Structure 1
Amino acid sequence: MILPQTSRSVSIVLLALLLADCVHQYHHQSFIAPVATAQQLSLHSGWSFSADLTFPSSSNALNSYTDVALFSFFTPILSSSSFNNGSKGFSLGFLSLYDAPGGHPSEISLSVCLGVPGDDVGGGRPFLIPVWSSSQPSGQKVIVTRLQVHENGRLSLLGEDGKEVWAVADAASMEMRNDGNLIVRDSGNRSVWESFNNPRDCLLPGQKVSVGMEMASSNGMYKVVMQDGGLLFYQVSEYEWPLTYLIYTANATVDSYFANMGTAFTLDRNAPINLTASVASPNCSAAEKFNRSQAIVVLDLSSAAILLKDACGNVNSLPTNRTTDVVRLDVDGFIRDYTVRQLPNTSYELFSETSQQRPCFTPNACGSYGICSVSNTVGNAVRRLCRCPSEIDNTNLTGVFSFIDDGNPSQGCRRNTPLDCSERSLQSLQQITSVTFMSILPIFEYTWREDTMPLEACKAACISNCSCSGFFYERQSSYCLSFGDRTSLSNVTFLSIPSDDHIVFVKVQTSRGPGRNSLPVIVSSAVAVPVILTVFILLAIYCMRKLSILDRGLKLAEEELLGVLPTPPTRYSYRELRRYTHHFRQRLGSGGFGSVYEGMLPDGRRVAVKNLETLSHGQKEFLAEIATIGGTSHLNIVNLYGYCLERKHRLLVYEYMENGSLDRWLFCKDEDQFHKLSWETRFKIGLSTARGLAYLHEECPKPILHFDVKPQNILLDENFDAKLADFGLAKLVAKGQSMVNTVVRGTPGYIAPEWVSHSIVSKKCDVYSFGMVLLELVSGRRNAEIELMGSEEYYFPKFAAKKAREGRFSDLIDKRLMKSAAINEQFSLEQVETVIRVALSCIHVEPEMRPSMTVVCGMLEGSIVLPNDVLDFSVYNAPLFEISPSGSIKHHSDLFPTTR
């Protein structure tokens, strides 16, 4: 998974260039002779610049760099000084792409381009390579046509429909620097936006990539992200984990361990180094100090290297050429260094010594079912061969697969006989040896607990699963990884594995021959088909009528619901949300009654789109969530931007929270070496959540009971500020109403005992759930750990009450926090004691003994005195139970019956 030696000459990729002009609403008819020659352009209210939508009348105005499109045209706005002097440089402007001469552009983006201006005397065409673009890597074409400044100083980029797609506030000037960095400054000449801080698919000399910054290939398929321990390359997929295929670390131990590609495919749960964790969170030595701000990667031409430094201070370098102009993450997932060089005929080309390389170490190297192997090596170029599974691998695979496109084997393979679940008796699993999946090691590190099984069990699981098209298996670890036709896991990548430990089984469908009994079958089919068709038509009519009634009811419910909201959220169509989420490509996780996907609205806001996947069960929750969160506005409540209510589709559009839910940070294991929350951050999260609940209970016009307070429903933004989310179970109550009768819902472990016993809930149920969350913030573990069953620490609330009575509050602190010197400071220990006392008062077995959330906030803030005597704390020792969809309870004795 580490960069092999053949690619160590590669550099890292991004930004800068285009041409120059600052005329108000001036349409350039030629790339030559831009009006503005200065590096900096003053922006005033009313200034605007429009793209040229007409195809150039002269071919000399077209871009001679054709890799971006067969025909492209550049309308310059502002250029670096070196570019204006006629030499190689950078320019900002509108880059228009055309599929054919004339007509309307197929795509227009605001771009920074690297290149050489055209020769007005000799008629030479300009040579321009985009290194930054306003377009997001998604495969979708977007047309932007205008850049303008509003009265409030907001610099906006507008689409063809006049909607804003990108903006920068407080813009007073733009500067196109000679290093390719486009800087927008305010009236005090302070930088408010830089292209170097917003990379796309390229890295330029001197540009620094810090932790969290990400580059993506122009097709959106591959990404590289800077983490605390180094660079992680992965393929975008629908899975919760990234399909990692390359890492580049500054830690020499990790680097050397994974330098051998064979070692990178050894699946061992007790391996000395965890690939994912080593990049996500490096383990600093005693002499090193963890500091995220020092982790960067930079292309440094003065030392002819790509320099990488991790959060521990380790440094590594990759040699590169001093003439490198740009490093780019290409559409095949391989990162290459490029130089713009002049040819003998005075034209130019973008040259890379590694341009012929496309090795087998990307998960999609040969497409679906494609087997990738190295055919030969010519100089520094490693050539690959893509083929389909065939009789070479197994005689039973003869004629089973064929290329999707014979002229382009890298597109992958198709089945000549599709899998048919109704004919499972005609299905078999056929083995291919010495085959594995590129990302199998990082996936193994995430899933080995649930996916380790004997080979026969893996076969049985795949045969019984209609969506399983085959599986990868590693004999030494007994690891089973299934894949399907429609996911990237259907790629079979061949590498030089040192043994036959790695195998793959592909499910094959055998065609049923006509045989001697075909006539009865034909006759029975002739009778059955009309009958089936009639039944189908009747069912369709019934379903359409039912959906019509349902739609009318939903429309009335929606009108009634939105009529009481002060500012109704935006209603989106399902087609719009599909587009904004790139067909629901990036799954963030699962929420109440549905999955959540990342997306981006046309105005540039990142969003989390929650798709309710069970119509009948989630409809009430859907309307409840709109009613609840649509009428709230608070710093610690997640914002609802909009919704979709369209036949069977129920979607909610929320603001995007960069750091996800609290549970993914809080419940990481020591050995995983993931990020850890500091005590200050945990206390801030607890106080923010308390304030959000206090608002719901006491400050809303109609009080709101959340019903499902837990770490999974506490979301964290980029600054780790907490916001409550997932109001699918929430209930509006009238002022003065103290209790509500309802069936048991929510999550075991956070449900108040009176709800389980009597189905009666009040605000004190949310207080109970919050108290359980506070204890988990202190301990860094779940309140009930099955692995500790039998010991006094199994049920943490009871253990915490005991330690509190003894005054031994420090025994309850997350052991990972105790390794930090900061937790030993007096104020931190006092805060820990405060949080534990508050938590225990919140989970008192008697609801009336629990404080209100307003009082909880006061106790955490220090404005209200804490309870004096912890001996009075009475903690409910909750039994194991689960909740059925109808709300009924199964207790411990039902789940685990005793034997007599």
Structure 2
Amino acid sequence: MGLLCVDGGWDLHALQRHLKFICLQLGSGAYGVENKDDVLTSPGGVFSPGFFPVGAVSRCTGKLSLLDNGNIVLYCKEGLVLWQSFDFPTDTLLPGQPLSKDEHLVSSRSHAYYSSGLYKFYFDTDNIIRLLYDGPEASSIYWPELYLLSWEAGRFAFNRTRIAVLDSLGNFSSSDGFTFTAADYGTRVQRRLKLDVDANLRLYSRADRGRKGIVSWQVMSEPCRIHGICGPNSVCSYDASSGRRCYCLPGFKIKDLSDWSLGCEPEFKFSCAATEVRFLQLKNVEFYGYDYGFYPNYTLEICENLCLHLCNCKGFQFKFLKHNYPSNIPYCYPKMALLNGHHFPQFEGDIYVKVPETDIFSNITVDKLDCSSQIVEQLYRSYPKSHENGSLRFILWFSCAFGIVEFFVIFLVWFCLIRTHQNSGMQGYSPIATQFRRFTLSELEKATRGFGEEIGRGAGGIVYKGILPDRRVAAIKRLNVAYQGEAEFQAEVSTVGKLNHMNLINLWGYCAEGKHRLLVYEYMEHGSLAENLTSNAVDFEKRFNIAVGAAKGLAYLHEECLEWVLHCDVKPQNILLDGNYQPKVSDFGLSQAPLKIGSRHLNPRFSRIRGTGGYMAPEWISNLSITSKVDVYSYGMVLLGMATGKCPAEETQDKMMVPYG
């Protein structure tokens, strides 16, 4: 194998050694090689490592070429490619070199030892591109983090392509949806993506051949989150000034000073007797993975007793999250192995390591001072008093009093400004129900990742998918204020906020800052009924349940809630389905306010026709009184569509209407 990249630079001598070996296999003077000291060079100066099958060379009567993109290609006389190094990447991926399901990047063992290391960048069987630690005794995926589902990590598992490519401008894109761009994206420089010895995946850029490459992107900003980097029974800590360092747990010693990946070994023998062991507490230390089980709401004593009676338990992780959702409860994780240790002050938990009850750990604990046997004597000392200046004392007291008054004045002014800002932002709106909350614009921007994932669009606004701080998945609708107006926004909050029914969409909160108006709904996994009319997953039983549930929701709006609410636009697009295909009626608050009077002549809100063509009741056209019958008629047309699998007629308006309005 030819190694090309050392310490962030391009090692041409390694390539020369690699090609000399190939040419000597071919024979002196063959294929344009004059003697054993000549080598192949590329005008671009970028090369790709690869494994060359010597047996294939002896069977081929063609030529060996090093292309400008760094690919070493063996051609036969017919012009066919017998072998190319792009199909056999080691630790480096060059622009234009595809990484498919059959190839992977493997790190080197060390900077001086170039055999295959313990880390791999590859496509897993679930079609997600991952980073894997494959140690001699244990293995684990450390990126993307396993506690995230694929869609939470921005990945798409439902594909069969499994290919990733880095282009010459610095953009990397994968078939699972993962993508990144270099810090110097757009400039035409030499680039390479390398899985380094420290298991971090980095993109290097080099504008000048005489210089080493600079890091223009890396996947891990916290190096201690890489699994196995310090080995078993050790802890990794990171400081911006001193960098990353590893240290053994108390009672353990390092196996090999030249290789921390081997970790530490105990200086004692473990005992299964509960009376012969104790626990050492290490604060703010996390050991990820290899849990015997997960036990919520276990006290420290119960968790300790559980680990004592498990012979294979090496310790236990204990966390008590002060701001945990939905309640403040402790968590217990008995550990079968102490791997992937990481110390960071922000971690709200401790590790308790099981050690024998011996004297070697006596210096770990801090003994309390015992002063009962000591003689306490009072020391009498006199100090000369200095002459006090009355004017200076008055100035000091006056300055202190003035500072205290000034502090209270500034505090009151600040408090009034904050209240004024909050009142102006809400513009008279207050939470309607106890489950409501008012979100800030920055919270919703963070939840939607900058409003990046759009799931629907309509005349009233755009709907985005987001994850709230309490891990709930939400559909966040950003209203078009110019189209909807303040009256419609107030109608939505005041109407939907008061309603509570299992077949009506839940409104979790809203945002009103400046000109921004947003509504936060619960997210419905299976979209609208219109998207599932032709789906084989919705059989007759599910269709019947959907029809009954939608009818219950409309009946609640018409007869059971405090105010009589007409939907006025009942159609399959406004009937949403959750993960169990349970229906929930949506878009019943924003397009119209609660209706208490049954004639549109008396209610200016119904001075124009509402609804969608094919589902509109005759009352809208015949200039008759608008009652709950208009929703019943539209519901009947929905039932007809559910029975036939087709829409009654083409929509005549609002063709782009989507769930959540």
- TM-score relative to the length of structure 2: 0.41
Ranked by relative contact order (alpha carbons within 8 Å, sequence separation 6 or more), the top structure is 1
More helix per residue: 1
Look at both structures and tell me which one has the larger radius of gyration over its CA atoms. 2
